[in-house]
Amino acid sequence: MTQPTVVPTPASPTPPGGHLLEVRDLHVEFRTREGVAKVINGVSYHLDPGESLAVLGESGSGKSVTAQAIMGILDTPPAHVRSGQILYRGRDLLTQSEEQRRQVRGKEIAMIFQDALSALNPVFPVGWQIGETLRQREGMSRADARRRAAELMDLVKIPAAAKRLGDYPHQFSGGMRQRVMIAVALALNPKVLIADEPTTALDVTVQAQIMDLLAELRRDLDMAMILITHDLGVVAGVADRIAVMYAGRIVEHADVRPLYRAPAHPYTKGLLESIPRLDVRGQALSTIKGLPPNLMRIPSGCPFHPRCPYAQQVCVDEVPHDLVLGDGRTSACHFAQEVRDDSAR
């Protein structure tokens, strides 16, 4: 397989050599019977080698759809990429042929999902499933693939890996299945791992094990990771940067610590205040009023304005642009400064 050549786009404000992965002004809509749902409305983010980015959002925020667009596994139709670029090592994946994209998928960018049970085929042993990619894509022999599968299962810390190669997915517990999935994803040594709610279906103690494993693998294999989650707790432990999504936009983008210390977007602030904290007693839960918007009728101006305590007339009239707050931090709020000062108090 040929390494993709690095062709940085001239207009790109990127470091020399370019970002490893960059999503630029992506717009995706779902054309359904009921109408057109604007699922992604101008999302941009980037990822550098070895870095960990968390994409945080609730259901309907578009966090998973963005990842699916990167992987090229969107269901089209109903999904339709209206505009935007997804640059991997400077080349736009969206303009590539299906064959070229297949080369990227798995080998350069791999993905793991929330539901490991349905992502694994119930009728094949896990060893065979891990080895399958190796045989297909690397042309490995059966014996080699089997040996490598055992190594991978060992890498993801499945006890007695060699003995369990012949076991079927249902013979593994939820946490072990998630490890098998990670082993499948790692088979071709990807440079980027996208983890879509990898621990949501798991128990807390197992959740902690998997998050530790992912952090360790990232460090050891020098992999970049995009962690997609709705759980503010999970993010706090593993990510370098966070992009908070709402109604198909990134509303706040910052390094982890400043974001948790003083969120600069009312939505992030509301989210942080609405989760019960284990380490804080007798805390009153404030809520974000109302419901996430209907993506077929996204409110004018700032999509968050009907739920926002800071909303003014300008929020109804004008879409807020990303306000840069220093140290690479942005917030798409007309009153970002004010919100941050309030939260810092």
Partner 1 sequence: MTAPASPTKVRGETILSVDNLVKHFPITQGVLFRKQTGAVKAVDGVSFELRRGETLGVVGESGCGKSTLARLLMRLETPTAGRARLEGRDLFKASGSELRRLRRNMQMVMQDPYTSLNPRMTVGDIIGEPFDIHPEAAPKGSKRRRVQELLDVVGLNPEHVNRYPHQFSGGQRQRIGIARALALRPEIIVCDEPVSALDVSIQAQVINLLEQLQDEFGLSYIFIAHDLSVVRHISDRVAVMYLGKIVEIGTEQEIYERATHPYTQALLSAVPVPDPEARADRNIIRLTGDVPSPADPPSGCRFRTRCWKAQEVCATQEPHAVLRAADPHPSACHFAEVRPA
Partner 2 sequence: MSDFETVAATENQAARRGVSGEPGTPAAAQKPRSLAGDAWRDLRRNPIFWISLTLVVLVAAMAAVPSLFTANDPRDCVLSRQHAGPSGGAVFGYDFQGCDTYARAVYGARASLLVGALSALLTGAIALVVGMLAGYFGRWIDAVLSRVIDIVLGIPLLLAAIVLLKRVSTSSDNVRLFAVIFVLAVLGWTTAARVVRSSVITAKEQDYVAAARMLGAGNGRIMWRHILPNALAPAIVVLTIALGSFIAAEATLSFLGIGLKAPTISWGIDIDAGRVHMRESATPLVVPSAFLALTVLAFIMLGDAIRDAFDPKLR
Q: Which residues bind partner 1 (CB under 8 A)?
A: 58-59, 159, 173-176, 203-209, 211-212, 230-237, 256-257, 260-261, 270-272, 274-279, 281, 283, 285-288, 291-292
- Say whether the peptide bond before residue 49 is cis (omega within 30 degrees of 0): no
The answer to whether 294 contacts partner 2 (rule: CB under 8 A) is yes
The answer to whether 3 contacts partner 2 (rule: CB under 8 A) is no
Map tokens 């101008």 to a residue. 42
Q: Residue 86 or 235: which CB sits closer to partner 1?
A: 235
Q: Residue 114 or 207: which CB sits closer to partner 1?
A: 207
Q: Report the partner that residue 332 touches, choosing among partner 1, partner 2, none (CB closer than 5 to 8 A by kind).
A: none
Tell me the one-letter amino acid at 255: D
Q: Residue 147 or 230: which CB sits closer to partner 1?
A: 230
Closest CA to 331 of 257, 256, 244, 270: 244
The answer to whether 309 contacts partner 2 (rule: CB under 8 A) is no
With a CB cutoff of 8 Å and minimum separation 6, the contacts of 83 are 25, 26, 27
246: tokens are 């709402």
Q: Residue 15 or 328: which CB sits closer to partner 1?
A: 328
Q: Report the partner that residue 275 touches, choosing among partner 1, partner 2, none (CB closer than 5 to 8 A by kind).
A: partner 1
In whole angstroms, what is the distance from residue 182 CA to residue 291 CA? 34
Burial class (CB in 10 A: 0-12, 13-18, 19+), 44: middle
The answer to whether 292 contacts partner 2 (rule: CB under 8 A) is yes
> What DSSP designation does 247 have?
T
The answer to whether 15 contacts partner 2 (rule: CB under 8 A) is no
The answer to whether 60 contacts partner 2 (rule: CB under 8 A) is yes
The answer to whether 277 contacts partner 2 (rule: CB under 8 A) is no
Q: Kindly report the backbone phi and psi dihedral angles of residue 219, in degrees, each rounded to the nearest multiple of 5, phi listed first.
A: -70, -50
DSSP code string of 176-215: HHHHHHHHHHHTT--SEEEEESTTTTS-HHHHHHHHHHHH
Can you give the binding site for partner 2, defined by CB under 8 A?
30, 32-34, 37, 39, 59-60, 62, 64-65, 287, 289-300, 305-307
